[in-house]
């Protein structure tokens, strides 16, 4: 399932829930949950808005001009923000779509409220609903990377990917070949695990086999508490890697690409607005979201399916064959592993 984050904040006080197996953050005056934790970094005075950065209007950006700059190696620091829509083609439902979203399909777990499946307190009392869900959505077991995930890997192989900031915790960026250095999983991942009580790290492979093969929640070897994968639940703190890297990445980026995101949840939704006003921004999405509708000459909107749009862009750049080769290789490896 595509789990986006759900959170709250009044001065970056956040609550966490998972969507696209990612957690949804909302800050400032927005309140999406009654639980809250401190995000950890006060970004209120770190960045000017794009409106305030420059008084000189740049030339109008088009998809053709972006493609030409990619083809001529003009971009050196491409910053990517990835949301739930990127993984829909992999068969992972998004978080909130009526009828098909995760929350509309949790009835079988008999939860007191939908978000409980990603609530650390509820997990401590009744881990079975999440264990059952985790068996289905564990990265690399039932779902394979999409063409868009392979596009991220292609940017990495070209040496021009600054970072992918993904709101998803399905792990498909890593499966597609994006290196750890170029990946920020804003809401955690399944590749590590720890006790929810004493926070002692737990062997990730043992955690996986206990959940997938035995259908049980692992127990901590130190204190006997319950163990879960290191994805961010309600009541847990966002990984520090985000705040460690985002300052540099937004300051140094020369192209921002946002894909499959509603840009509703903080702090990730603010990344496109933190870059300099002269930096081109490309939105690949079904809907016009965020500040992309403000008529900035540096913004380009490719409306539609992520995979179709990525293919169109790569065709313009001349990368389509390389994109297909990564996709074929990734799926061949995954089939051999299964």
Number of Cβ atoms within 10 Å of the Cβ of 117: 25
pLDDT on residue 147? 97
pLDDT on residue 93? 66
CA–CA separation, 199 vs 220, rounded Å? 9
Number of Cβ atoms within 10 Å of the Cβ of 332: 10
CA–CA separation, 220 vs 241, rounded Å? 25
pLDDT on residue 2? 41
Q: Model-level pTM greater than 0.85?
A: no
Angle at 185 between CA 322 and CA 125, to 5 degrees: 135
305-308 CB contacts, 8 Å cutoff, 24+ apart: 305/89, 306/85, 306/86, 306/88, 306/89, 306/146, 306/147, 306/148, 306/259, 306/260, 307/89, 307/146, 307/147, 307/148
pLDDT for 40 beyond 70: no
Model confidence at 26, pLDDT cuts 50, 70, 90, reads very low
pLDDT on residue 236? 83
Q: Is 331 a catalytic residue?
A: no
Q: What is the largest CA-CA distance in the chain?
A: 61
In which element (H, E) is residue 17 found? none
Average pLDDT value for residue range 42-47:
45
pLDDT for 149 beyond 50: yes
- Which comes out higher in pLDDT, residue 22 or 248? 248
- Which comes out higher in pLDDT, residue 85 or 59? 85
Q: Is 125 helix (H, G, I), strand (E, B) or coil?
A: helix
Model confidence at 50, pLDDT cuts 50, 70, 90, reads low
Cβ–Cβ < 8 Å for 31, 8: yes
Model confidence at 235, pLDDT cuts 50, 70, 90, reads confident
Which listed residue (187, 247, 270, 331) is catalytic? 187
Cβ–Cβ < 8 Å for 27, 14: yes
pLDDT in tens, 177-214: 999 999 999 999 999 999 999 999 999 999 999 999 99
Peptide bond into 47 cis (omega under 30): no
- Of residues 192, 196, 160, the one with CA closest to residue 174: 192
- Of residues 149, 323, 158, the one with CA closest to residue 255: 158
């Amino acid at each position: 399932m595509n789990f986006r984050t759900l959170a709250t904040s009044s001065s970056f006080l956040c609550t966490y829930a998972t969507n696209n197996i990612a957690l949804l953050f909302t800050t400032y005056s927005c309140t999406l949950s009654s639980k809250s934790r401190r995000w950890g970094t006060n970004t209120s005075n770190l960045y000017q808005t794009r409106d305030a950065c420059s008084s000189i209007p740049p030339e109008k950006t088009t998809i053709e001009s972006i493609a030409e700059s990619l083809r001529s190696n003009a971009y050196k620091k491409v910053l990517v923000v990835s949301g739930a829509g990127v993984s829909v083609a992999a068969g992972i439902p998004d978080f909130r779509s009526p009828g098909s979203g995760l929350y509309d399909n949790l009835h079988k777990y008999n939860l007191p409220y939908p978000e409980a499946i990603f609530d650390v307190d509820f997990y401590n009392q009744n881990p079975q609903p999440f264990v059952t869900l985790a068996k289905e959505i564990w990265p690399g077991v039932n779902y394979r990377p999409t063409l868009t995930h392979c596009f991220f890997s292609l940017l990495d192989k070209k040496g021009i990917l600054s970072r992918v900031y993904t709101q998803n915790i399905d792990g498909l960026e890593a499966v597609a070949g994006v290196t750890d250095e170029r990946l920020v999983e804003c809401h955690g991942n399944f590749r590590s695990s720890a006790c929810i009580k004493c926070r002692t790290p737990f062997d990730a492979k043992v955690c996986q086999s206990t959940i997938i093969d035995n259908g049980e929640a692992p127990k901590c070897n130190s204190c006997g508490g319950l163990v879960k994968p290191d994805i961010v639940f309600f009541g847990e703190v966002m990984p520090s890697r985000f705040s460690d890297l985002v300052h540099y990445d937004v300051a140094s980026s020369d192209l921002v690409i946002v894909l499959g995101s509603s840009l509703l949840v903080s702090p990730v939704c603010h990344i496109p607005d933190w870059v300099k006003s002269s930096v081109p921004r490309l939105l690949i999405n079904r809907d016009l979201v965020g500040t992309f509708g403000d008529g900035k000459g540096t913004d380009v909107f490719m409306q539609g399916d992520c995979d179709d749009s990525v293919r169109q862009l790569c065709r313009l750049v001349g990368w389509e064959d390389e994109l297909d080769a990564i996709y074929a290789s990734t799926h061949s490896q995954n089939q051999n592993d299964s």
